[in-house]
């Protein structure tokens, strides 16, 4: 097999690669990509059928006994199915590059009048100004309807373009915040730049969400699944191997794997 050629160009943040364009069009994600690049957030409506959404919700309620849960990718196959959702994977490749990694799979159950998580940007471990290219993509799978009363995540429109963290006064003011509203089974997706906060739930009942984070291939992941990676790859195949870092030269116990150097460097530019 011929070795791939090295790319020397880097795509601008808003560009969809030639390789990804047909899939984005097939999945109906062109406008989502535009929104994500220009506004910092988007919503994928009806990402899966009602049966899957109910299954995911039930599993979260089993696992998040204290209102939250972490390290869920290895807990039950339903989480891997959510992470590998074709629309999410395509948006992740667009936003954080080909060869992107899974960083975190968590869940939350928010009930009436519980305290809000304050305003922040998910690029919290990066100094400002944030890079022009997004480093981290968050996807919140809304197992219940996202409305203001139900405690939907709130975003500050335009804040993604500032490429910095909010200051203490801005955190307190929450000026211009709007709730991300969508139907159950949809996914709210945002980049690492946009300022957002959990919303206060004023309605009875509970808001059940799966939080999935993807990152660029050179970023350190929040969760370490090396103890489980062989089983996860056996169960879910090549796409999971890529998310766990097995397809790039950085994943090696003996330093950089130079047999994967071209593929790794090319993925970093796409």
At residue 214, does pLDDT exceed 90? yes
Average pLDDT, the chain: 95
Beta bridge partners of 160: none
- Where are the extended beta strands (E) located within 48-125? 68-69, 101-111
DSSP-derived secondary structure letter, 161: G
**C-alpha separations of 65 from 153, 174, 222, 235, 261 in Å:** 21, 30, 21, 26, 44
Domain residue spans of the chain: 21-268
- Summarised one tens digit per residue, pLDDT across range 58-81 is 999 999 988 899 999 999 999 999
How much is the pTM?
0.95
Beta bridge partners of 196: 120, 155
For residue 125, what are the contacts with CB-CB under 8 A and spacing of at least 6?
none
Do β-strands 136-142 and 186-191 pair in parallel, antiparallel, or remain unpaired? antiparallel
- Summarised one tens digit per residue, pLDDT across range 121-144 is 999 999 999 999 999 999 999 999
Contact assessment for residue 243 and residue 235, using Cβ atoms and an 8 Å cutoff: no
Measured from the Cβ of residue 11, the count of other Cβ atoms closer than 10 Å reads 17
Q: What secondary structure does DSSP assign to 28-68, as a single string?
A: T-HHHHHHHHHHSEEEETT-S-HHHHHHHHHHHHHH-TTSE
| Cα 222 from Cα 178, distance rounded (Å) | 28
Looking at residue 183, its pLDDT comes to 96
- Summarised one tens digit per residue, pLDDT across range 5-47 is 888 899 999 999 999 999 999 999 999 999 999 999 999 999 9
> Tell me: domain 21-268, CATH 3.40.50.10860, correct?
no
The dihedral through the CA atoms of 102, 61, 54, 177 has a sign that is negative
At residue 178, does pLDDT exceed 90? yes
Looking at residue 1, its pLDDT comes to 53
């Amino acid at each position: 097999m011929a070795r791939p050629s090295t790319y020397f160009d880097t795509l601008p943040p808003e560009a969809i690669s030639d390789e990804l364009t047909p899939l984005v069009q097939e999945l109906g994600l062109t406008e989502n990509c535009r929104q994500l690049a220009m506004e910092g957030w988007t919503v994928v409506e009806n990402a899966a059928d009602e049966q899957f959404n109910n299954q995911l919700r039930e599993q979260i309620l089993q696992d998040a006994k204290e209102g939250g849960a972490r390290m869920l990718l290895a807990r039950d196959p339903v989480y891997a199915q959510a992470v590998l959702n074709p629309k999410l994977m395509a948006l992740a490749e667009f936003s954080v590059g080909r060869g992107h990694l899974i960083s975190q799979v968590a869940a939350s159950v928010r009930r009436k009048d519980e305290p809000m998580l304050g305003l922040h940007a998910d690029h919290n471990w990066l100094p400002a100004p944030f890079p022009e290219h997004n480093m981290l993509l968050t996807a919140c799978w809304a197992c219940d309807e996202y409305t203001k009363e139900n405690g939907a995540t709130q975003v500050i429109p335009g804040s993604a373009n500032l490429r910095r963290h909010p200051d203490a006064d801005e955190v307190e003011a929450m000026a211009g915040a709007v709730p991300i509203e969508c139907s159950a089974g949809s996914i709210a997706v945002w980049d690492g730049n946009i300022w957002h906060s959990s919303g206060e739930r004023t309605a009875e009942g509970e808001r059940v969400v799966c939080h999935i984070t993807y990152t660029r291939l050179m970023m350190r992941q929040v969760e370490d699944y090396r103890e489980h990676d062989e089983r996860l790859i056996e169960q879910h195949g090549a796409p999971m191997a890529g998310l766990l870092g097995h397809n790039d030269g950085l994943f090696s116990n003996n330093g950089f794997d130079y047999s994967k150097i071209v593929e790794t460097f090319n993925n970093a530019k796409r």
